[in-house]
């Protein structure tokens, strides 16, 4: 296709990115390659963030709270004026789908790298959008999209549609203000929670209701339109693996997609975009049922988090397309010039604890990187889009996503194998992440066989969250790795400075306690607790001879001849009785982390004589698991409660978290009220358990 420019288009040489984190860094990377000067904006919490460090200029917007900084459209527009930015790229989230922001930029003569305000408005109100899609001949899921918002009316509509139903914020997205309701009895509580989240995230608590399909796949189509009337689809992505309606793993193309179905969905997506006069990059999301029927869900009028998998299979830079279209150029390629090459996966790396209901985590990144050499990976097959570096602080104020890991393969099987090796190559220390959970997902037999639906995680909860018994070989490997790392920390030749068990005129002997990190405080450290602690003795009779490792514990007894060989990067070769394994390893404080393409194993490692055998009594208090805000107190002080009963609701990182009673008993007092800000570790309430 010949590239031409609209005569009234405004070209620009300076781009302000009105966002933060990985998407800000990613947009600036393309902008710099195109010769544009880049401007970052930041809140007080992000004054030293990576996107600020990488920009040519940066302007402070305000305090840490998003509504006072990244959502302050007047401050963003003023930052553009101050730096001479001719265009603003909104990234995703924040102001990316705010029509008033686009209108403010139009009034200021600043180009918005995205669709016109009218298109955003058309799709921003999901109820009105459904009506327009019906007129455009785009298939819809049965539901209620009306203006009436009375609680009783909504409940009656849900009863009419038939349960289960999906409650969704009309102005929402990203899983905020969304609940699955299984029965009429639970409708009001779900509605109240959705309204609270929607008001907090979008300032709008209107709801729509849809029939909840039991086993659908989430398949979305990347569309692109220019101001000259051209529109194309850059194929589809499968985003079925989700938790809390937020995507975790995405892939392109969607497995099992026929050419006919791909064309039907792609053409329907382009019709949807044309219906609202769309310009720029957009994503039309569909539910794909088991019988091949597909239904329009919504259109995201911005660049998606998962756009890199589309870039990987098409060879196109979608941010470059956005910038060129914003400059008035025609689309770089026509539909028949676009092709699919290979397969791609994206895994979202979050600072969160999957074992604690995906509780967001905060802290300082003591290390953040990727060891491609140690994993034996080609750089052209792996891409890490991140907004953080070693030393950065993960705060409570924003979404906990640290990075996106994107891989490419000649086919799905090769891409999946690369994903598993790349996950093992990630080195993240200082905060809890979902890396181990991503590995369990990516190695699950049903994921490998592409047996996907939007309830994949829920359906496989028993296996994805099952307690994995650590094999004797992993205890032995951890002991050997701990010894090796301890020896490396002391480079002195003096035997008096060594930490590897050296004794004058005697074999090297050292006794080690190993257990899971969550058991490494309190009674679990006691060597009498055979379920969690194994004693390892190492004896080496000469230089170059293998260690003799003896494991002792309940149902755990073995002896190995063991050697360790340092390899590329942070990889080591561990040999136990002639069986050699390549493992990527690192030390995170006193935890030995071992990762291979199948799993992650973390074991607390300590000299046995350094263990504190004191037993800690459980406190009758509940503490805040993260920084956040108290949303609601659900019981009165002095109330009698049963184990598991909801006591209070906290909000952090745009999501609500319900604190429940740890046992039968009563609440003695609350230490905070609704609206109060709390810090991680703050005692929230005093609780008296029954005797």
Annotated catalytic sites, by residue?
Answer: 302
* Residue 550 burial by Cβ neighbours in a 10 Å radius (0-12, 13-18, 19+): middle
**8-state DSSP, 663:** S
Judge contact between 540 and 508, C-beta under 8 A: yes
- Residue among 275, 273, 341, 266 at smallest CA distance from 301: 273
C-alpha to C-alpha distance for 244 and 228, rounded to whole angstroms: 39
C-alpha to C-alpha distance for 78 and 643, rounded to whole angstroms: 52
C-alpha to C-alpha distance for 172 and 520, rounded to whole angstroms: 42
**Residue keyed to tokens 């860094």:** 25
195: preceding bond cis by omega (within 30 degrees):
no
Judge contact between 602 and 587, C-beta under 8 A: no
Q: Which residues pair with 16 in a beta bridge?
A: 39, 88
The secondary element (H helix, E strand) that includes residue 222 is: strand 217-225
Over its C-alpha atoms, the chain yields an Rg (Å, rounded) of 27
Judge contact between 402 and 346, C-beta under 8 A: no
Q: Which residues pair with 580 in a beta bridge?
A: 575
* Residue 492 burial by Cβ neighbours in a 10 Å radius (0-12, 13-18, 19+): exposed
* CB neighbourhood size of 417 (10 A): 15
- CB contact set of 493 (below 8 Å; sequence gap of 6+): none
State how far the alpha carbon of 376 is from the alpha carbons of 426, 573, 608, 644, 679, in Å.
13, 13, 36, 47, 42
- CB contact set of 10 (below 8 Å; sequence gap of 6+): 86, 87, 109, 111, 327, 328
**Residue keyed to tokens 């914003």:** 326
Judge contact between 406 and 344, C-beta under 8 A: yes
Can you spell out the DSSP letters for 516-564? -GGGSSGGGGSTT-TTT-EEEEEEB-STTPPEEEEEEETTEEEEEEEEE
- Residue among 367, 425, 365 at smallest CA distance from 400: 365
**Residue keyed to tokens 């055998």:** 613
Judge contact between 125 and 145, C-beta under 8 A: no
């Amino acid at each position: 296709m010949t590239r031409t420019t609209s005569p009234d288009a405004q070209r620009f040489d300076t781009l302000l990115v009105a966002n933060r984190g990985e998407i800000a860094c990613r947009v600036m990377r393309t902008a710099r390659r195109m010769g544009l000067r880049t401007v970052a904006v930041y809140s007080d919490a992000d004054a030293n963030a990576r996107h600020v460090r990488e920009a040519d200029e940066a302007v402070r917007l305000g305090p840490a709270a998003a509504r006072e900084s990244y959502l302050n459209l007047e401050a963003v527009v003023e930052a553009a004026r101050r730096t001479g930015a001719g265009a603003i790229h909104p990234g995703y989230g924040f102001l990316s789908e705010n029509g008033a922001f686009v209108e403010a930029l139009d009034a200021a003569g600043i180009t918005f790298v995205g669709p016109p305000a009218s298109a955003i408005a058309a799709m921003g109100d999901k109820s009105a959008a459904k009506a327009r899609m019906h007129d455009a001949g785009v298939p819809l899921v049965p539901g209620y999209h009306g203006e009436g918002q009375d609680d009783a009316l909504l409940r009656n509509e849900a009863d009419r549609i038939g349960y289960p139903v999906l409650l969704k914020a009309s102005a929402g997205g990203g899983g905020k203000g969304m609940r699955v309701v299984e029965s009429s009895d639970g409708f009001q509580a779900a509605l109240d929670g959705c309204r609270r989240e929607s008001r907090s995230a979008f300032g709008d608590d209107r709801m729509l209701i849809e029939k909840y399909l039991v086993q659908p796949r989430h398949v979305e189509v990347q569309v692109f339109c220019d101001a000259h009337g051209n529109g194309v689809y850059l194929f589809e992505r499968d985003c079925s693996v989700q938790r809390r309606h937020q995507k975790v793993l995405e892939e392109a193309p969607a497995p099992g997609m026929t050419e006919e179905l791909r064309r039907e969905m792609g053409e329907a997506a382009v019709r949807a975009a044309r219906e609202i006069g769309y310009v720029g990059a957009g994503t039309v999301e569909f539910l794909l049922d088991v019988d091949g029927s597909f239904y329009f869900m919504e259109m995201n009028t911005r660049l998606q988090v998962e756009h890199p998998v589309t870039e990987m299979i098409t060879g196109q830079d979608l941010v470059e397309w956005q910038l060129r279209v914003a400059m008035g150029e025609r689309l770089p390629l026509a539909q028949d010039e676009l092709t699919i090459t290979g397969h791609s996966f994206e895994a979202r790396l979050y600072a969160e604890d999957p074992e604690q209901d995906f509780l967001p985590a905060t802290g300082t990144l003591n290390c953040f990187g990727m060891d491609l050499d140690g994993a034996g990976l080609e750089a052209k097959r792996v891409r890490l889009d991140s907004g953080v570096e070693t030393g950065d602080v993960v705060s409570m104020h924003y979404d906990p996503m640290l990075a996106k890991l994107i891989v490419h393969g000649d086919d799905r099987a090769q891409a999946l194998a690369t994903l598993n090796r790349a996950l093992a190559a990630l080195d993240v220390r200082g905060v809890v992440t979902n890396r181990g959970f991503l590995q369990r997902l990516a190695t699950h037999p049903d994921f490998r066989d592409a047996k996907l639906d939007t309830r994949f995680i829920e359906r496989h909860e028993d296996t994805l969250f099952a307690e994995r018994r650590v094999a004797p070989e992993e205890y032995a490997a951890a002991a050997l790795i701990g010894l090796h790392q301890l020896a490396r920390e002391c480079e002195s030749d003096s035997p008096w400075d060594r930490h590897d068990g050296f004794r004058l005129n005697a074999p090297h002997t050292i006794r080690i306690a190993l257990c899971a990190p969550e058991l490494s405080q309190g009674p679990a450290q006691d060597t009498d607790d055979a379920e969690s602690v194994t004693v390892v003795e190492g004896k080496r009779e000469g230089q170059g001879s293998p260690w003799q490792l003896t494991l002792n514990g309940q149902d755990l007894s073995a002896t190995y001849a063991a050697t360790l060989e340092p390899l590329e990067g942070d990889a080591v070769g561990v040999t136990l009785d002639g069986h050699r394994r390549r493992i990527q390893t690192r030390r995170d404080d006193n935890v030995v982390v071992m990762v291979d393409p199948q799993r992650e194993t973390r074991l607390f490692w300590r000299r046995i004589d350094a263990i504190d055998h004191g037993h800690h009594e459980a406190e009758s208090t509940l503490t805040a698991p993260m920084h956040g805000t108290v949303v609601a107190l659900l019981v009165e002080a002095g109330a009698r409660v049963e184990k598991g009963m909801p006591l209070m609701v906290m909000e952090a990182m745009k999501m609500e978290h319900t604190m429940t009673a740890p046992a039968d008993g009563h609440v003695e007092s609350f230490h905070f009220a609704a609206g109060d800000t709390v810090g991680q570790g703050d005692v929230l309430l005093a609780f008296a358990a029954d005797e």
